[in-house]
Structure formats: structure tokens, C-alpha cells
Amino acid sequence: MQRAALVCLLLLTGCFQPNPVTGKSELSFYSDEDEIALGAQAAPGMEQESGGLYKDPELEAYVDAVGQRLAKSSDRPTIPFHYRILNTEDANAFALPGGFVYISRGLLASLEDESQMAACLGHETGHVAARHGVHHLQYSQITSVLLNVGAQVAGRGSDEAAIAAGRGLKVAQTVTALASLKYSRDDERQADHLGIDYAGRAGWDPRGMIGLMKVLQKGEKTQPNALQAMLRTHPLTTERVENAQAETSDLPPENLKGKTISTPEFQRQVARLREAEKAYQHHRKSKELAGQGKLQEAVQEEDEAIRLAPRQAPFHAGRAALKLRLNVPAEALSSAHQAEALDPGLYEAALVSGAASLQAGDTGSARASLTRASRLWPGHPAAPYYLGALCEKEGRRDAAAECYAAALQAEGESGTYGRPAAEALRRLRPPTAPHRRR
């Protein structure tokens, strides 16, 4: 069935179009609109899986402004690019098809000047401009999974909660497919070249690429774990470093004259980020203590994080989760609402808000928050699990079973939510019941 659909797609819409960078004609299943839609569909899940987005309007605007200058100087200036910050101390950067480019706050904080940041964002812009992600998707079996996204969901039951859970699973497959992508050596070589080129064209010293690579090499020795994600998607080979060195040293001196190395704005923004890291250390400590069951001590650490950086939503969401575990739903709700107000896109906040409403018996609010959560992180098991509990509470057994099944499929029977979901399914769908057929 999937194979047939693939063949149809090839016959109907498979066509050749010029690559934006090389101009060479290439087979393309995706129009620009398709590619943008694909990226937009995968972005929320990829963002949540990579630590969520870092919320700081000033820093977000600054990073996006640098990115937009690179996008305008790129070979694909007509694509709407988005440059976003991942909320993780791990050093990472990646791009999704359709112009969604990410850099982690950990990587940002380790950079020494603006030209290094431009090199990094320019490299990722290069992956999008040359359509590297799309090429990989096209030529792998992943395509067949993508073809099914949406098609099956549309035909499923009419219960809103169950549809949200089902949609989550399908989108999760797209995210998994994109997350497992690895660029080839040729892709990396080309993205480095484009990063140097775009940064230079947009006014930065193109030797920022050398600086960036040196920062990564230094990190490889001093904090190898923090760099894992970055080096998995962009292995830093000696060849890449040598190529970048050769390319930038060959540039005529007039190409380097007046180019920006750094700006006071960069130094100020990065200093703020390094300051915020202190609050995040308390947040991490809180998570660690919570993992050991030391809930009261964990609350104290989260409170300290909030004192240092009161506008970071994850701290309020963490506090809400702790209060929920301590069986104080009213306090959990108020912290969750604070987190949601600061960052409406934070999965944990919507989830805890829903779970706390459920615990307090407010099913209407619980449904709204949990449905929102399942949209924010399609495929995470917690939201469908709680939606299942909600439906079961309301006596809607079929809808409950579908939600539990989604939670089970997302995590497996040994998981935190997968296990109780499996138990609930055995309760709702005993082997002799007619629902057994699938």
C-alpha cells in the first residue's frame, strides 16, 4: 500500500527542478510549499525533544536578526527562515527542511564573537539552501512513513482527545525520521563552504568559521558530553578544518577589510546568557533531587532558580510538577499557570496544568490543557496517558483506550506512562471483548 502510494506520488508530482545552490536539475518530490509544511509539522516535536525553546525576547530577536541577514545573502532568500534558540546547555545546532534553524544556548554561550555565530547559523542556512534534509528524506524509505502522515489521522474517530493522541503518533514518526538524519561528508563540506560564503557576503569576517571549529575542538577535549549532539549531526573532521582554513586564507585581503568580527550587542547578549546559566544550575539540581525523591529540597532549589531568573517558564513548570507530586494541586496549578503565561509553548507547563486540573476534578480545564500539551509535543507519552485517564473518568471507554494505546506505543510497556497505560488497556479491552480486533 505504502509502496503503491510512493509510486503514484513519483508519477504524479515527481518532477525535476534546479537546486537553489548549484543550479543543477534534480529530482524533487517536494515543492517549496511542501518543504516548508514538512518543516513546520516536524518543528514542534523536534524543539521539545531538544530541550524546548529558550525564551528571552531580546536574545531571540538578536539571534533571528543575525540569521535573517544570512538568509538574505543566501542562495534561497525567498524561503521564510526562522532562527531559534534551544533551551539546553548542550552544544548543538541543526536545521530542518523549510528554513527552521536552531542553535542551543549552550553553544551560544561558548562562542567568542559574532563572526563565529554567523558562521554557525550560515552553515545551517547552507544545509537548507542546498536542500540537504529534503534529499535524504526523498531517497530513504522514510518517505513512505511521511506519505501516511495525515492521511490515516483524518479518517480516525470523532473524539477530539483520541484524534489529538493519534495525530501525535503520526507526527512523532516524522520527527523520528528527521532526527535520525545524518548529513553526508559532501553535505558538510558544502555547508561549511556556504557558511563561509554567506557570512562574508552578509558583512562578517568569514574566518569566524575557523574560530567556531576551534571552539568545538576545545570543547571536544574539555566537555565531550556536552558536544555529543552537535558532533553526531556535524562530525568535525580534520578535513573540514583544513578545508575551512584553506578557503579563508585564500581570500583576497579586500574581502576581509571592514568585516565584522564582533559587536557590543553580541558580548552583552552572551554575558546575559552566561548569567542565566547560574539559575539553570539550580534548576538542574532540582531535577536531580526530584529524581532521588527528595521533593522538599527540590522545591527549594527551584525557588532559588526562580529568584535568580523569575521569567524562565521551565522553573515555574518544574515547581508545579513538584507540587503535584507533593499532592498540593492548588499550588501546582498556580505555578503551572505562571509558567504558561511566560511561555505558552512549554509542554511541561501545559501537561502539569492538565494533570493538576484532573487531580482537582476540573475536567474541562484538564481537557483543554492536555489537548494543548499533546499538540505541543506530539508523540510524548504523558499527555495521551492523562487524556486516557480523563476519558475513562468520564466513562468514554473507547476514547480512553485509544489514548492509552497511543501512550503505550510512544513509550513501550516498561515506561513510566507505558506501563500504567498497558494495565489500563487490559482493563478496558479484556481479550474476550469485541474491541480486540485491530
Contacts with Zn ion in 386-425 (CB under 5 A)?
A: none
The angle subtended at Cα 240 by Cα 245 and Cα 228, nearest 5°, is 125
Q: Does 132 bind Zn ion (CB under 5 A)?
A: no
Pairing of strands 93-96, 100-104: antiparallel
Nearer to Zn ion, 247 or 398 (CB): 247
Shorter beta-carbon distance to Zn ion: residue 113 or 192: 192
**Cβ 108 to Zn ion shortest distance, Å:** 17
Q: Which helix (H) or strand (E) is 15 found in, with range?
A: strand 15-18
Give the Cα separation of 374 and 44 in Å (integer).
Answer: 11
Kindly state whether residue 234 participates in binding Zn ion, applying the rule CB under 5 A: yes
Enter the C-alpha cell of residue 21.
545552490
Query: Whose Cβ is closer to Zn ion: residue 52's or residue 126's?
Result: 126
CA distance 316 to 164: 26
Closest CA to 341 of 313, 367, 318: 313
**Minimum distance of Zn ion from residue 153's CB (angstroms):** 32
CB of residue 102 vs Zn ion: minimum separation in angstroms?
Answer: 12
Q: Does 380 bind Zn ion (CB under 5 A)?
A: no
Number of shown-chain residues binding Zn ion (CB under 5 A) = 2
CA 91 to CA 51: how far, in whole Å?
A: 12
Q: Which single residue brings its beta carbon nearest to Zn ion?
A: 234
Q: Measured from the CB of residue 191, what is the shortest distance to Zn ion in angstroms?
A: 5
Site string for Zn ion, 352-371 (x = CB under 5 A): --------------------
Q: How far is the CB of 141 from Zn ion (least distance, A)?
A: 23
Query: 86 or 405, CB closer to Zn ion?
Result: 86
Stretch that binds Zn ion, among 101-109, 215-223, 229-237, 313-321 (CB under 5 A): 229-237
Residue with cell 560564503: 197
* For Zn ion, the closer CB: 94 or 385: 94
What does the alpha-carbon distance between residue 68 and residue 348 come to, in Å, rounded to a whole number? 30
Looking at the Cβ atoms of 213 and 350, the one nearer to Zn ion is 213
| CB of 342 vs Zn ion, minimal distance in Å | 32
d(CA 278, CA 312): 12
For residue 393, give the C-alpha cell: 473518568
219: closest CA among 206, 208, 230, 210?
230
* Residue 132 and residue 113 in contact, taking contact as beta carbons nearer than 8 Å: no
Instruction: Please report how close the Cβ of residue 134 comes to Zn ion at its closest, in angstroms.
Output: 15
- Report DSSP state, residue 237: -
Dihedral angle computed from the Cα positions of residues 30, 31, 33 and 36, in that order, rounded to the nearest 10 degrees: 40
- Segment contacting Zn ion by CB under 5 A, of 56-64, 157-165, 234-242, 298-306: 234-242
Closest approach of Zn ion to the CB of residue 207, in Å? 18
Which residues within the stretch 181-200 sit at the binding site for Zn ion (CB under 5 A)?
191
State the DSSP H helix or E strand holding residue 100, giving kind and residue range, or none if neither: strand 100-104
**Beta carbon nearer to Zn ion, 56 or 188:** 188
User: Which residues inside 290-349 make contact with Zn ion, applying CB under 5 A?
Assistant: none
Q: Which is nearer to Zn ion, 31 or 184 (CB)?
A: 184
Q: Which residues bind Zn ion (CB under 5 A)?
A: 191, 234
